[in-house]
Structure formats: structure tokens, C-alpha cells
Amino acid sequence: MSLAHRQPLTENSFLRYLCGMNGLSEKIESLKKEIDAFSIQNTQELESYRIHFLGTKGLVKSLMGEMKQVPAEDKRAAGQLLNEFKVFAEAKYDLAKDGLENNETQDNETDWSLPGNEIATGSRHPISLMRNRIIEIFQRLGFSVADGPEIEDDWHNFTALNLPEDHPARDMQDTFYIQQEPAILLRTHTSNVQIREMKKGKLPIRMIMPGRVYRNETISARSHCFFHQVEGLYIDEQVSFADLKQTLYFFVKEMFGQNVKVRFRPSYFPFTEPSAEMDISCMLCDSKGCSVCKKTGWLEILGCGMVHPKVLENCGLDSNKYSGFAFGMGIERPTMLKYGIKDIRLFSENDIRFLQQFTGAY
Ligand code: DAH
């Protein structure tokens, strides 16, 4: 039954609202608005709020006190309303109190409008930049990228490449041995990946194989005991030396500019026949001759040739049916040329001042 039809029980203003549950809820709504509007910016205001609403003589308590005068059948509903109101009033107090306490522990000296600390961004290593450029150019010609192990056995690094034990050409590629008999070593070139890919027998092969290689060399400004190479391999029916030349012409023009001149010099590698070394015109002195090109006007950039039939056979490929070309180039030298780096040791010293110069470089 609604309280609306009852007589007021006392003069207390509260009872006017209790004349009906509707009246009570209206009163509570308006008190809630009053609470919402109550601004608590400091501890004094917090205390006034507490006294006004939650204190022993506060509104919540006095409303509660009137409960005893509510008829029994309405007690439950009125109690619920008042309880909710109490929780509402207390929540605002707790929230404001927490806020003020946190503020007190904050450092008010800090100027929050200052710009934040810069987040350090890394940079690509110049060797990676150059490797990625090489990959990108060959990918445009349809070459894919293959990878192989740096710790290699003797067969893949030497014997299969037509460099049998006691072959004098092995002398030029002395390396570090992990184990003797059977010999496990740090690969001296990326040519081992040629063998691994050919042995898979999936033809045609059109791949480039970048990676790190090792040699037992004295470390100086020009040579190191580890460096990087990119190997190239193209095996199919009827691949000719003309294909080799056109592929490499395209590469150097994309890499060093359309005006670069190229020359092939006959050379010797046990795994190719015929073999050649490819030079490009020195861009530092415009082919006039400088200390970098040793006054020749030419810079040697890679070795190449037609894959030796014996190498094809070592990998189980029919050398009467298939032919192909291969090439191998170092990454350090063209990188040094491109960025004017004078000492190869800088690449691996991890000097942040050196590395930071390549932030944003392409
Ligand atoms: N592997 C040779 C080296 O490290 C470079 C090389 C020359 C690779 C001729 C080749 C090639 O694939 O055909 O000196």
C-alpha cells in the first residue's frame, strides 16, 4: 500500500516526503543532484561534505532516523531506497578522498606540459642495408633467397665444389675448424649453399644466397676474419654465358647507376669453367685513378663463371642436360664505397656513434 493516503505522523519535514514512496524517491533524487553538484576540491570541502551528508547529524543519518516512523508494510521499500542513497553518498566521499590523497603524494613541481623523453629508434646496419638492396634487385629478376649453414662440413664447402683435399686453391681459403676428421669448419664462402640447393634437385634454380663467411686472415683496415657475401646461382637447360653477363649488367646498373662501365677479366675458380672476375669503373675518381682503385680506374666486385660440369655431377645433376652460371660477391666492399667507410673493422665494433649515422639510411 502506498504511503500517499496516510496522515503525516509528525511535523518533521522528512515525513512530508514519506507521505508517499514516490515523494521519497523524488526527495532522494533531488538530494543525489545536490551531492553531484557538491564540489570537493580540498580537505576542508571534503570535511563539510562528510558533516553535511554522512556525519552523526547529517542527512543520511537523519533520514535513517525517520525510518522508525514508517509503517511496517512500507519499511522494506523505504529501507531499500535509503540504503541505496547512503551508498551513493558514501561513494562520492570515498572517491573524493582517494583523489585528494593521491594528489598529495604527487610531485607538484613537475611541468606536465614539457615534451616527453625521446624514444630511441634503432637503425639498420650498413651491411644489412646493402644486402637488402642486392636482394631487392635480384628479386626483380625473379631470383629467390636461400640460406645455408655457417658451420659446414668439408664436402659442402670444398670437395663438392671441385676443391678436393690438397688442392692448392684451398690455401687461399684457410678457415677455422670446429673439428678434424671429419672436418667441420666455418664456411669460407657462401658457395656451400649452391651445393645444398642443387642437391635438392628442384630445377630450375634461380637463387641468391646472402650470408656470413669466415677466413683465417689477419685483421686490418681492409680485411677481417669474418665478412659477408651474396652468392648467385642459375641452373636450367641451355643457360649461357650471355645470360650471366646480362644478369650482372642489369645488377650493376641498378646498383651503381646507368653510367657505370663493366669489364670481365678471365680468372680461375675450381667450381666454374670458364671463370671471370667482374670489375666496375671506379665511381670515386670517375675512372681517373685514385688510391681506392689503386690507380687502375677499376674496382673488382665479384667472381663468376659457368658452373663446372663436375660440380653439377657432384650434386646429382645431369651436366649434359643442365648448365648454369654462378657468381659470388662480397658485401663489405661495395658498402664501404657507397658510404665512404675507410675501415672494415668499424662494421663489427658496435660503436654506437658509427651505427647511428645510418638512422633512416636506405
Ligand atoms: N666463392 C668465391 C670466393 O669466395 C666467389 C665466387 C667466385 C663464387 C665464382 C662463385 C663463382 O659462385 O662462380 O672467392
CB 85 near ligand 1, within 6 Å: no
CB 18 within 8 A of CB 78: yes
Task: Name the residue at shortest CA distance from atom 7 of ligand 1.
Answer: 303
CB 303 near ligand 1, within 6 Å: yes
Q: Report the separation in Å between the CA atom of 302 and the middle of ligand 1, taken as the mean of its atom positions.
A: 8
Which residue is listed with cell 680461375? 268
Task: Name the residue at shortest CA distance from atom 12 of ligand 1.
Answer: 327
Whether residue 43 has pLDDT greater than 60: yes
Q: Report the separation in Å between the CA atom of 251 and the middle of ligand 1, taken as the mean of its atom positions.
A: 17
Whether residue 2 has pLDDT greater than 60: no
CB 326 near ligand 1, within 6 Å: yes
Poorest-confidence range of 22-31, 225-234, 292-301? 22-31
pLDDT tens-digit series, residues 239-255? 999 999 999 999 999 99
Whether residue 139 has pLDDT greater than 50: yes
Q: Report the separation in Å between the CA atom of 305 and the middle of ligand 1, taken as the mean of its atom positions.
A: 8
Q: Report the separation in Å between the CA atom of 268 and the middle of ligand 1, taken as the mean of its atom positions.
A: 10
CB 208 near ligand 1, within 6 Å: no
Closest atom of ligand 1 to 272 CA is 13
CA 343 vs CA 140, 188, 222, 290, 325: distances in Å: 32, 21, 6, 17, 32
Q: Which of 216, 268, 327 to mutate to test ligand 1, by most ligand atoms within 8 A of the CB atom?
A: 327
Closest among 318, 320, 268 to 163, alpha carbons compared: 268
Whether residue 17 has pLDDT greater than 70: no
CB 305 near ligand 1, within 6 Å: yes
pTM of the full structure: 0.70
**How far is the C-alpha of 77 from the C-alpha of 59, rounded, in Å?**
19
**DSSP states along 95-145:** HHHHHHHHHHHS-TT--TTSPPPPPPP----HHHHHHHHHHHHHHHTT-EE
CB 314 near ligand 1, within 6 Å: no
Q: Which pairing describes strands 272-281 and 298-307: parallel, antiparallel, or unpaired?
A: antiparallel
Q: Report the separation in Å between the CA atom of 347 and the middle of ligand 1, taken as the mean of its atom positions.
A: 22
**DSSP states along 200-232:** HT-SSEEEEEEEEEE------SS--SEEEEEEE
Q: Dihedral through CA 153, CA 155, CA 160, CA 165, nearest 10? A: 130
pLDDT value at position 4? 42
CB 50 within 8 A of CB 94: no
Q: Dihedral through CA 199, CA 202, CA 204, CA 205, nearest 10? A: -50
pLDDT value at position 14? 54
Q: How confident is the model at residue 67 (pLDDT cuts 50, 70, 90)?
A: confident
Closest atom of ligand 1 to 305 CA is 13
The average pLDDT across 200-206 equals 97
**How far is the C-alpha of 234 from the C-alpha of 307, rounded, in Å?**
9
Give the chain's mean pLDDT. Answer: 90
pLDDT value at position 45? 93
Task: Name the residue at shortest CA distance from atom 5 of ligand 1.
Answer: 328
